[in-house]
Structure 1
Amino acid sequence: MVTNCRLSRSSPDDRREHIIAIAADVFAQIGYGASSMSTIAARLGGSKATLYKYFPSKELLFEAVLRGRCERVLAPLRDLRSSDDADLESLLAKFGVAFLTKIYEPVSLDVHRLIQSEGLRFPELGKAFFRSGPDAVVEELRATLERFETAGLIACDDLRLAAGQFLGMVRGDHHLRYSAGLWPAPDDAEIERQARHAAQIFVYGLQRR
């Protein structure tokens, strides 16, 4: 849990990051609907005027929280996109390991549960989530697959669809059960096993025949 802290005597960037951290804590604890800019300002120990200077609305503040959380997932995936690895199965297995490792982190679970619980009442949450998270992840993977398709190593007429299907294969039903509180997060060995299995099946389906 992030502790209370006033915003004085810190740089603008540090203040912004501190606001985001406090807001993420508030959203996770009491939900988006029950949260308010007043609540967040009080937790910060500052004024609403200071808060609104950085974020004009709760929706924009929530989107900033999402971008920060989703960037944790995207950063290692971008590294793989720029890899010169010519073995697609190996690359996808690494992609899957990086993806699973991040979505099983507690902060990712907080976001997932928040979207699931409040997305119907607040459609803007789902839109912000997909802009910052799933859509960006799919695009990273689509671009990775495009390199192999252009080189004639795989055959696929809808790379975006294929990218989404691979991510679904990697998650399987373990993540659904995890987010429902039924199963614990898998350990590193199980994450690697799931990623390699999904990559093997997926690449076999894309091979030119």
Structure 2
Amino acid sequence: MSATAEFLSDVSNPKRHAIMAAAAELFMAEGYAAVSMDAVAKTSGVSKATLYAHFSGKEALFEAIVAAGCEHMREQAEEFLGGHDRPLREALVELGLHWLRFMLRRQVRALHRVMIAEGVRFPALARAFYAAGPQAMHSWLSGWMAGELARGRLRPEVRPAQAAEHFLSLLRGDLFVRATLGLVGEDAAAAELQGIAEQVADTFLRLHGVPADGFA
């Protein structure tokens, strides 16, 4: 399975998966504006009728790719967080590592650059990208933070949505900027991830953790 196909592995319908994988590669290589639905149909090996049966247009197709990748990322996070009653710091480190690895993937960085380059020209697409990607991730993380608050593992005054924003903002540091600019690849960045995730977890706990956890 190619890296792009694995990125979209939660898409169970074979034709839909083929369309999205082909479109993702085209978007990453050529940008959004340059890709036509004809090219997507040809590259994915489906008819235009089949293509439009699955997607109403190019914007819906791009949004579906982003949503599927982010949903796969969230499901993986729920899997390793949901089945273990691990200390909060450990959970935050694992969550930070998971998010960083996801954001450093070639497909994610490429689609992010496409959106940065073309969002102004396609504001509806930018809104769809934000809703399917960053906003959905923030919403999921806010829910997880609310659960930790209810368990008494965060300070009583913590607002889950704000805590989620703080955590994600801490992760978007220098490495994220260099990766977005293409100055560092997945392999080169891997050595930095553990240290970054641990620093972010410790900073977050000093802001929001209960004093009993040693972060007064």
- Shorter-chain TM-score bucket reads 0.7 to 0.9
Relative to structure 1, is the Cα distance of residues 153 and 128 closer, same or farther in structure 2, using a 3 angstrom cutoff? same
Task: After TM superposition, give the deviation of residue 84 of structure 1 in Å.
Answer: 4.1
Task: After TM superposition, give the deviation of residue 187 of structure 1 in Å.
Answer: 4.1
Relative to structure 1, is the Cα distance of residues 151 and 41 closer, same or farther in structure 2, using a 3 angstrom cutoff? closer
**Worse overlay, 22-31 or 82-91:** 82-91
Who is 1:47 aligned against?
47
Who is 2:214 aligned against?
none
Task: After TM superposition, give the deviation of residue 202 of structure 1 in Å.
Answer: 0.6
Task: After TM superposition, give the deviation of residue 81 of structure 1 in Å.
Answer: 4.4
How many residues align structurally?
A: 199
Q: Which amino acid aligns with 2:100?
A: L
Q: Does 1:117 pair with 2:117?
A: yes
Task: After TM superposition, give the deviation of residue 75 of structure 1 in Å.
Answer: 2.1
- Quote the Cα distance in structure 1 between the aligned partners of 2:29 and 2:209: 47
State TM-score, norm by structure 1. 0.85
Stretches of structure 1 that go unaligned for 5 or more consecutive residues are: 3-11
Any residues of structure 2 matched to 1:78-89 within 5 Å, and which? 78-89=78-89
Relative to structure 1, is the Cα distance of residues 45 and 142 closer, same or farther in structure 2, using a 3 angstrom cutoff? closer
SS in 1 for 2:26: helix
**Cα RMSD over matched residues?**
2.1
Who is 2:162 aligned against?
161
Task: After TM superposition, give the deviation of residue 199 of structure 1 in Å.
Answer: 0.2
Question: What percentage of residue pairs aligned between the two structures are identical?
Answer: 32
The answer to whether the 8 Å contact 1:96/1:170 transfers is: yes
Any residues of structure 2 matched to 1:167-206 within 5 Å, and which? 167-185=168-186, 186-206=188-208
The answer to whether the 8 Å contact 1:96/1:195 transfers is: yes
- Quote the Cα distance in structure 2 between the aligned partners of 1:114 and 1:70: 16
Q: Give CA deviations for 1:22-61 in whole Å, capped at 9, x if unaligned.
A: 1111111211112121221232344322211221211111
Stretches of structure 2 that go unaligned for 5 or more consecutive residues are: 3-11, 212-216
